[in-house]
Structure 1
Amino acid sequence: MKKQNWLFILMGGCVAMSASAQETKQSQDLSVELNPVVVTGTGTHHRLKDTPTPVEVVTANDIKKAGITDFREAMTALVPSLSFSTNSMGDYLMLNGLSNKYVLILINGKKLTGDSSNNIDLNRIDMSNVKRIEVLKGAGSALYGSDAIGGVINIITNQPINDITVTSNTKVEERGQFTQTANADIKTEKFASYTSYQRRQADGWTLTRVDADGEARDKHDANAFYTDNYTQMFQFTPNDKLSMYVEGSYYDRTVKRQPEYLKYNLTYDAYSLGAGAKYNFNKRSYIQFDIKNDNYDTNYLYTNEDGDNKVGDEVRQKRQHYYSGNLKSLFRFTENTRTIFGVEYIQETLDRPSFNVDERAYTWATYAQEEITLFKNLQIQAGLRYVYHETAKSNVTPKLAVMYRLGDFTIRGQYSAGFRAPGLDELYKYSYSQRGTRAGTLSAGNKNLDAEKSNYGSINLEFNKKWLTVGVTGYINELRDMIVARTVKLSEFSEAEQAAFQEIANELYGGNAKLGNIQNYVNNDKALIKGFEVNLNANLGYGFSLGGNYTFADARTKDSETGWHKIERSVRHSGNVNANYAHAWKSYRLNINLNGRVQSKRIHETLKSDEWIDESAPGFGLWNISTRHTFDGLKYFTIEPGVGISNIFDYSDRRPDASHLASLTPGRTFYVSLLLRFKK
């Protein structure tokens, strides 16, 4: 670890000790909210310190103080248990050693759909619209179903508050990085509208100009891109019992690949439509219905002629559809209980024209949850979900969480089961590759795959004062029946199976394909992740606040051929520090924020000749400083310029032709921003 990283950690500690020696001042300008309302851990609203399931929260204020306009940057800076393996195609998310296919990403409780080369497209998340981000670690399948083995990230968006609010936020940074957002809120007694637009773009850059052999290279490590995000929501509340909404979004992204002689750029288009209604029987009970249709397309935009494709042709490569309907009810039959019942239907569709794949799978689920409060200090939560997946059949996932409060101390214990239904690409993916005259490989789906399953347990101890929160969590997550791709020689299959594979290869290849190997998906591996986390957040008084997190994850997987080894892309050690100063002089407020993240190497190991070769990306530290200057002396207007430095110590991974980059940061960059807000 670099000396300057330790220097700033020590500086943060010194600030904490110095400020804590002073008289603590609880005033209105304290800049850390230690007890926000959360919903993700239980499906019901709780204050953070009162939820029986531990949840990590990043608020809009945290994001704003750090001068962040990008989801990946926010999670990297503020949630050390999350890491990203970045490449020119996108961001590969990891949560405590498990990849993005085991992490469910929600926006207001509804799944975000769409991936690029198996990377969740996080650019669809409009950060200007975020109220808070809740991170539930560990299996959340009892409440949220498939894909929640590793955890759940729920992005909660803002709702209109004032009669009229119009906001513009502009950020300009070196390397052509530019973000522009515009928001317009209107609210009346019965009607509300929220409109948002976000534009993001950046130039591409190359971290090193030579490859491992010293030859020149001009391939971009970070591709140039631009994105446009539009979201619209209308709400109608005719009376105090009934509320309804409709919402929609449109998203467009273009990735400009380098070198220019490549045949095509990549474009991504997505749109979603949703609607719902909520009926309150009384202040304690309600029933709610939500439906959503989410669509995501991946396309090639040709920049050079290729066969029948001309310059400017846009050809769809993959289309993903996600349809869901959820009926949920909450009843409080007694003062100390909350009961949830729900039914959910999901249908997913995958269309890949070039591979002759057009398949779908449906899921039915029913779930129930009970929360009981005993003796004011003891809270118990029990839940159960039954799922029927079209191919993986029946699965049951229980959950039990207990919370006991003793003065300023809170103890939480949790057990939860998780499952992940096979993805459509694992069930139905077909592709064929052949080089020259050599025999090729057919990648085939497997319709007989079982669901992946997990058992998760955690213990949490938390100390909570008005000005200080300290927490320690230990956990273990065990997975079995993991779905992995295995390559098998064609000769190991029966003659009938060989003939079937040959027919598929001929159809894909457009001729007499030569088959050598078959790559298909099987339930083969298991995994074991053990770790712990420590976090601290404090309001130190006099405008100072300090926060820090450290996480350790020992993530290992086992297969039948090579035994136990470290999970690819996992990170064992990571931590962050956030120090903030805020002060107001009449109509002017100053906010200074220092943020740092340090992480150990990201695991990349390759098995060659029965020996594991370490090709891991090195550990690194990134430190950022941002300042905001708020002028709100005008009655209806607020003006807020900002200035900051990203990557203060100019770190970048410039190893020649590194196969696994630690980070795509180009080095130290400076930025300016300007927020304008009108509200009435």
Structure 2
Amino acid sequence: MPKINWLLTCILLCSVSAIWAQNGSFTGTVSEKNSGEPLVGANVYFNGTTLGTVTDKNGRFVIKNVKSGTYEVIVSCIGYHRVKEEITLAGPETKSEFLLEVSTSSLGEVVVTGTGTPHHLKSAPVQTELIDKKLIDRIAATDFNDLMLGVSPSFDFSPGAMGPFMQINGLGNDYILVLIDGKRVYGDVGGQTDLSRINPNNVERIEVVKGASSALYGSEAIAGVVNIITKKSKSKAAVVTSNRYGSYGEWIHHHSLDLNFGRLSSTTSFDRKATDGWQLSKYELDDDDLEETDAMAQNASTDFTFNQKLSYDLTQQLSVYVQGAKYKRDVLRPQTVGKYGYSYDDFSYVAGAEYLLGKGNKLTLDWNSDNFKYYYKYNQPADGFQADDKAKQTEQLRNALNLKGIFKLSKSHQLSVGGEYVNEELESEGRLEGEKADAYTLALYAQDEMKIVKNLSAVVGARFVNHKEFGSAFTPKLSALYNLKDFNFRATYSRGFKAPTLKELYYHYDKPMGSSVYLFLGNPDLEPQTSDYYAFSAEYIIDGFSFSVTGYQNDVDDLIDYETVETSEEDAANGVKRTRRHYNISKAGTKGIDFLFNANLGAGFSIGGGYSYVDAKNKTDDIRLEGVAENYGNARLGYVHNWKKYQLTANLNARFQDEKFFDDDEGNAKGYNLWKLTTIHRFYGPGDFVFDLSAGIDNIFDYVDDSPYGSHYGTISPGRTYFVSLQIAINQ
């Protein structure tokens, strides 16, 4: 027996030695092709595996413990054309050198939102608007809505007491699916997604797909999908800390730490924002009279978000991850205005796995849970509460399980199939009958990306949905891309489906308006909304210049809105002046045209911008949809120049739009144009330190809409403001 044991041990040791002997290292450098300068932070990875790394300050990279064989290596770096090369690894070490060419546009960047799979922006069959890191940095935005107003004419944000209400091409936040790293942002403020948790300092890029995307993403995607991709680093250690100070007590800071230890990766971030708020007018409307008020157009507020993600590569094919995020926000009101402010609390966590099957095939499994709570936070003793006490008003809980497979059937076909289960719960004491409501959705979907002929590709997909309250629905989508030299032509048809939310069905609340009260009611008799979206676009691209024009029409049946109904005698006796209830507009929709252009002028100068015309109508009553303007636009002029250890970036940005329609006594919201100047001064310090000092002026021409509080506003800009920020980054 001892001899047998020794023999087995020797065999085992020899087997292990043989296995490890087959593994080696892949090393090399990544440099700029023209200058030969090393590129720091370039991504190097084996396509179809979990193996990858980034280059160090000398442009070098090392990927250890790689099995011998032939791999497709992809090398990418922001601002450069991506390189794809087939490499055969043999022996203990394989070396390679990669030279990247400077890209004068973002068209070579990879986008994933339109199809759920990677595509170069230029060749993506579903039209995708990309807001890249360079543009995000140049705008130097205070928050998410400030950023999107500065970069895209298709977006608008209507000011609200508890936060801004987002629109894309005339349809509101209810019809826009907002994702962070592909995961749905959940929890609403007054029916609108709470976007305060998004800090532009932590955003790598934003991908926007307009129109119905229900086939791939399900409900809430009738107007479009906004996917916010956050910053991540593959360096061994990357630290970023930034602080921004501005007018009206603005203080925004962001801190992040990325660590990569072989198979284990960790991403940690902390964001905090605060403002003292401001008034636009010292007066408010009370019926037809003006009264002095302390109410603020922008209330004082503080918020923070903490996010932690851990990823682990179990093998070269299988990886797992867990992630948790905590968000808290307090909105303060003066004691003379209200006895309480508002407080929001959200905790979300996700967990998942990805298994690479080889040759572009993979399976993913994701579990997502989100718990969003809304409170009154008292600023004085009242209603049996003390100052700083909180009284919970609503609690929203969403759990989702998603299983997806991507299979490369041939060179001409890539199939995506999946299933999703979503369960939502809403709790509220005093605002719901029975204090609790819930709904679930089951869905199956499939999508085929096909290459029909050399210059023609298409995406065909469909989703089957079964909703607890509203039965089944079928939502197909078809997109096609035809390339003709420097021109791209795209066409899309898609059908959307959106069940009424639990709040739209069952929720009721009252809202003080001066000395009066407005009452808002749910409606359990609502019908689900369906849409038919058509779009055609033409795009012209040459080196350093791009121009696109898109015409679209989005017809929505049973669109949910508010209507004014008769106030009951009991409610009138309790001070209710006006009662509004959800209802279905049988026929509604938007149509319009978008223009976008970007051009590099040489000598470091660039220009860009766009224009959006929107015709949004309630076709049943033949009037415009409320809160929508007809004309929106952006323009920007940029300049970048590099010295040895210093880079200067300057950006002049303009936003304009005309008045927004409102069908009430307050009248339309005024149009406006705002101009912003930003400068960024980058210093390359000793070692791996990079310092970014930014300074700017917002609303250069000091425009202020001083209409009485309670009026409809196009913008609540307080006038000319100033800011300065410092960011320090360390990569090793």
TM range (shorter): 0.7 to 0.9
d(CA) in 2 for partners of 1:568, 1:272: 33
Q: Which has the higher contact order (CA 8 A, sep 6+)?
A: 1
Match of 1:371 in 2: 449
Task: Tell me, yes or no, if structure 1 residue 335 matches structure 2 residue 393.
Answer: no
3-state SS, counterpart of residue 711 of structure 2: coil
Structure 1 residue 513: deviation in Å? 10
1:105-504 equivalences in 2 (<5 Å): 105-211=178-284, 213=289, 215-260=291-336, 262-356=338-432, 357-430=435-508, 443-446=521-524, 448-486=525-563
Q: Is the 8 A contact 2:523 2:583 kept in 1?
A: no
Task: Tell me, yes or no, if structure 1 residue 46 matches structure 2 residue 119.
Answer: yes
d(CA) in 1 for partners of 2:258, 2:646: 25
d(CA) in 2 for partners of 1:667, 1:519: 33
Task: Tell me, yes or no, if structure 1 residue 552 matches structure 2 residue 613.
Answer: yes
Q: Indicate the percent of aligned positions where both proteins have the same amino acid.
A: 36
Structure 1 residue 431: deviation in Å? 5.3
Q: Is the 8 A contact 1:392 1:422 kept in 2?
A: no
Match of 2:598 in 1: 537
Q: Which of 583, 587, 590 is the aligned partner of 2:648?
A: 590
Q: Is the 8 A contact 2:558 2:586 kept in 1?
A: yes
Q: Is the 8 A contact 1:160 1:193 kept in 2?
A: no
- CA deviation string 1:444-500 (max 9, x = no partner): 531x53310000000010011121111010000100022344566699xxxxxxxxx
Q: Is the 8 A contact 1:444 1:518 kept in 2?
A: no
Structure 1 residue 28: deviation in Å? 7.0
Structure 1 residue 114: deviation in Å? 1.1
d(CA) in 2 for partners of 1:568, 1:440: 18
- CA deviation string 1:309-346 (max 9, x = no partner): 22232110011111111000000010121100010000
3-state SS, counterpart of residue 231 of structure 1: strand
Q: Is the 8 A contact 1:442 1:515 kept in 2?
A: no
What is the one-letter code of the residue matched to 1:385? R
Q: Is the 8 A contact 2:284 2:291 kept in 1?
A: yes
Change (3 A) 1:309 1:557: same
- CA deviation string 1:125-180 (max 9, x = no partner): 13232111111111110111001111111111223221100011111111111111
Structure 1 residue 442: deviation in Å? 8.8
Match of 1:21 in 2: none
Structure 1 residue 55: deviation in Å? 1.1
Q: Is the 8 A contact 2:169 2:223 kept in 1?
A: yes
Task: Tell me, yes or no, if structure 1 residue 58 matches structure 2 residue 58.
Answer: no
Q: Which of 656, 676, 684 is the aligned partner of 1:624?
A: 676
Structure 1 residue 671: deviation in Å? 1.0
What is the one-letter code of the residue matched to 2:464? Y
Task: Tell me, yes or no, if structure 1 residue 602 matches structure 2 residue 660.
Answer: yes
Q: Is the 8 A contact 2:186 2:370 kept in 1?
A: yes
What is the one-letter code of the residue matched to 1:145? G
Match of 1:14 in 2: none
What is the one-letter code of the residue matched to 1:411? F
Structure 1 residue 95: deviation in Å? 0.9
d(CA) in 1 for partners of 2:132, 2:392: 37
3-state SS, counterpart of residue 281 of structure 1: strand
What is the one-letter code of the residue matched to 1:47? H
Q: Is the 8 A contact 2:104 2:543 kept in 1?
A: no
Q: Which of 699, 719, 722 is the aligned partner of 1:670?
A: 722
Q: Is the 8 A contact 2:500 2:526 kept in 1?
A: yes
Structure 1 residue 355: deviation in Å? 2.5
Change (3 A) 1:627 1:31: farther
Change (3 A) 1:671 1:293: same
d(CA) in 2 for partners of 1:488, 1:421: 23
- CA deviation string 1:44-96 (max 9, x = no partner): 11011111111111112211112224111100100111101113311011111
Q: Is the 8 A contact 1:652 1:667 kept in 2?
A: yes
Change (3 A) 1:585 1:524: closer
d(CA) in 2 for partners of 1:165, 1:329: 32
Q: Is the 8 A contact 1:459 1:473 kept in 2?
A: yes
d(CA) in 2 for partners of 1:390, 1:168: 46
Q: Is the 8 A contact 1:69 1:128 kept in 2?
A: no
Change (3 A) 1:341 1:624: same
Q: Is the 8 A contact 1:135 1:153 kept in 2?
A: yes
Q: Is the 8 A contact 2:147 2:200 kept in 1?
A: no
What RMSD, in angstroms, separates the aligned Cα atoms of the two structures? 2.7
Match of 1:6 in 2: none
Structure 1 residue 579: deviation in Å? 1.4
State TM-score, norm by structure 2: 0.81
Which segment is superposed worse, 203-212 or 37-46?
203-212
Q: Is the 8 A contact 1:430 1:445 kept in 2?
A: no
Which segment is superposed worse, 75-84 or 26-35?
26-35
Change (3 A) 1:228 1:458: same
1:2-21 equivalences in 2 (<5 Å): none
Which segment is superposed worse, 285-294 or 87-96?
87-96
Structure 1 residue 538: deviation in Å? 1.7
Change (3 A) 1:261 1:660: closer
Report the count of equivalent residues: 627
3-state SS, counterpart of residue 642 of structure 1: strand
What is the one-letter code of the residue matched to 1:523? N
Match of 2:22 in 1: none
Q: Is the 8 A contact 2:294 2:336 kept in 1?
A: no
State TM-score, norm by structure 1: 0.87
Change (3 A) 1:200 1:188: same
Task: Tell me, yes or no, if structure 1 residue 653 matches structure 2 residue 705.
Answer: yes
Match of 2:18 in 1: none
Match of 1:640 in 2: 692
d(CA) in 1 for partners of 2:299, 2:577: 35
Change (3 A) 1:653 1:520: closer
What is the one-letter code of the residue matched to 2:680? R
Change (3 A) 1:199 1:31: farther
3-state SS, counterpart of residue 701 of structure 2: coil
Q: Is the 8 A contact 2:558 2:588 kept in 1?
A: no
